[in-house]
Chains A and B, each alone.
Chain A
């Protein structure tokens, strides 16, 4: 199969789309990092918290202290700049991928699909010869200039973007979204003060329109962007869609990153004209004869990318291996492009029992967690477990070894009344994290059970 595809995948195509992508993606990253630092989030998210929620298997990823974190972000910003202008490109891309991913792995409270997107695109950028066209590296070493790159180097980004949209669309094909218009039914009326579209957002039919159009858009946009004849209109839809999401939801840079990233679907001609125009500004000329990039270890890279793509396709489906409703248990929820699908709010009460005295105390979560961490922890079982372990360790350090930890956690999801998320009797401190199903997650009941305070024992 791959053998048959190989000539197609390795055929030389214009290097311009890849160069433009490198430039705009690097620029967006630079802007995002500066914005992140400017808003004081480095301190708020990676210096001030007392504890962190690392990912399973990545517990060794720890914050580096105030000076260390700022140094890491400065390095990340420089690497993004290097990526953008194509200076020491491979090193820049690698450093950017490593520093960005490291920061994301520190605390899953900060998990966002768009950070995951940045990480995977950065990884892919390390692998492609995006710096041999329209870059400072080429200015330094003119002989490294190419006008063509193998097709896979462009295709892999189109594929990745297409997957993001398509899976975001697949995720919308659920009863809450399509039949109940949840969570948009709760989210849109908050914006009726907006000019022009404001009054519409209170209308139920508008909410349904948003839901159905959103699902249709996500499922089809990769194809409409790929097809030459629909491309312009499709791109206009991309702009309108993302501008709307930027206005309606607090999602930072993501809409803009998507708006510029999807330019990679445009024709080589479009990108060449764009670069030609830029070159004319700085009066740089390029050789007339085309040169194709020679990629070292191309067969190996191709095989790796096939494996990568298969993984990307399969990972969002891993949830079928777990029992229960995905949105409720969140087992296999992350890394699957499930964006803006849930209004999930929780309140968690933790109780710690000293096994020696039998006394149980309630925990004031804000003694340990930031508001954001508490909010995230209260709806995600794996974080509840991590927090229980932190509490046990903290009590052990205060001479209460082997403390038992229970949690009474109420969660409201997509308009359902709040109900217990996990078994309040289970000693979480004795439960281990693993990829196996968590038996202590309670099933989602469609009818709200009556509210009972389990309370202390």
Chain B
């Protein structure tokens, strides 16, 4: 065995010698130096942590607004709560695409954003007054979709206020609303803490390579998962693509507040920012696009990174072309909605096929042998 070790050692020493010589050599062709570590640090410090900080703050503000509304339910406090709810829901679109590490532990997408929500379950829970919102049976009776129903479901502001002042089970309804917003805030806090005072930021920054569980592997896989959810859940299912026949308007995200379209656009913007390494403070830092340029990934004669960036913009433009609430558009403007769907499909082809290939990222969540 000693002999083998010697040979292995000799081999490595030779390679190391090659390495030390290489600095004297002219490098082949124009090559952009790329610091992967800087990219990963940029993602952690300038995108992910700010996204969770913002989400934590917005959900805190939401919980505070809900408390104020519950204490004195008026049209004014309701409006303040609705604004806080929309802000927090939009902040979730920025945060939910990093579902690894702490967010994966908290199952953020599952716990906060299963839609359509079950109004029957919500009303049953309120009527009963006893329930366990941690049970999986209640996944579609909590989170933002449930808030959406409670804050908008009755129709106009006055009707909602009435539910919280003179309707049936007022006390239980108030308690349910408060518990929903508290639970959301708890999850947001847990993820924020995991990234900041917890050690996940360090773990993330020190997971090099592109294998399963590496920082880049996690980013690429979760970005793709998020784009897939955007295409399938936000657009595909409500427009009836997964069920034969007609559109299913009630399956849109944020059905009652009719903010689906804005959330959809926010999700696409967030996905694009993640691809570009676009920091929360507006600086375009080192991102996956630069990494693609580094390995000289090409598409159709140009750079793959340019093709992907352009496709994000086309998808966003298609979403912008849809008028009014998405729940109506799926039936009245099916062409425009189909266009959004098709553009998201093209985007997925690029991000899920061409991008991982060029980066050597395995599309997998389990560690497996290859050959």
Contacts and interface: CB of A to CB of B under 8 A. Distances in A.
B357 A343 contact: yes
Interface in A92-151: 112-114
B15 A239 contact: no
Given A340-B371, A372-B364, A362 B242 contact: yes
A197 B353 contact: no
Size range of the interface on B?
35 or more
A186 B357 contact: yes
A418 B8 contact: no
Given A189-B360, A249-B370, A250-B367, A236 B10 contact: yes
B352 A347 contact: yes
Interface residues of A, number: 70
A141 B366 CA distance: 47
B369 interface: yes
B276 to A, nearest CB: 20
Interface string B208-225: 111110001000000000
Contacts of A199: 19, 22
Contacts of A363: 242
Interface stretch (B43-51, B160-168, B189-197, B296-304): B296-304
A133 B10 CA distance: 35
Main secondary structure of the interface of A (DSSP, over half): mixed
B236 interface: yes
B136 interface: no
A451 interface: yes
A411 B353 contact: yes
B119 to A, nearest CB: 24
B371 A345 contact: no
Nearest to B299: A417
A354 B244 contact: yes
A69 to B, nearest CB: 17
B341 interface: yes
A205 interface: yes
A415 interface: yes
B350 A418 contact: yes
A193 B36 contact: yes
Contacts of A451: 300, 346, 349-350
Contacts of B360: 183, 186-187, 189-190, 343
A196 interface: yes
Contacts of A410: 349, 353
B305 to A, nearest CB: 13
Given A339-B371, A359-B245, A361-B244, A236 B4 contact: yes
Contact of A196 (B16, B25, B363): B16
Q: Which residue among B212, B243, B353, B360 has the maximum number of chain A CB atoms within 10 Å of its CB?
A: B353
Contacts of B365: 371
A417 B354 contact: yes
Contact of A361 (B11, B243, B359, B366): B243
A371 B342 CA distance: 23
A55 B363 CA distance: 24
Contact of B345 (A205, A240, A453): A453
Interface stretch (B26-34, B172-180, B264-272): B26-34
A455 B4 contact: no
B242 A250 contact: no
A252 interface: yes
A375 interface: yes
A438 interface: no
B138 interface: no
B102 interface: no
A50 B242 CA distance: 20
Contacts of B301: 447-448
A1 to B, nearest CB: 35
B238 interface: no
A448 B299 CA distance: 7
A254 interface: yes
B253 interface: no
B232 interface: yes
Given A186-B360, A455-B338, A455-B342, A360 B244 contact: yes
Contacts of B243: 361
Interface of A: 39, 41, 44, 112-114, 183, 185-187, 189-193, 196-197, 199-200, 202-206, 235-237, 239-240, 243, 249-254, 339-340, 343-347, 349, 354, 357, 359-364, 371-372, 375, 410-413, 415, 417-418, 447-448, 450-453, 455-456
23 contacts: A41-B368, A112-B371, A185-B295, A186-B357, A189-B294, A189-B360, A190-B210, A193-B37, A193-B209, A197-B12, A204-B28, A205-B28, A206-B22, A239-B7, A345-B354, A345-B356, A345-B363, A364-B232, A364-B242, A375-B363, A417-B304, A451-B346, A455-B345
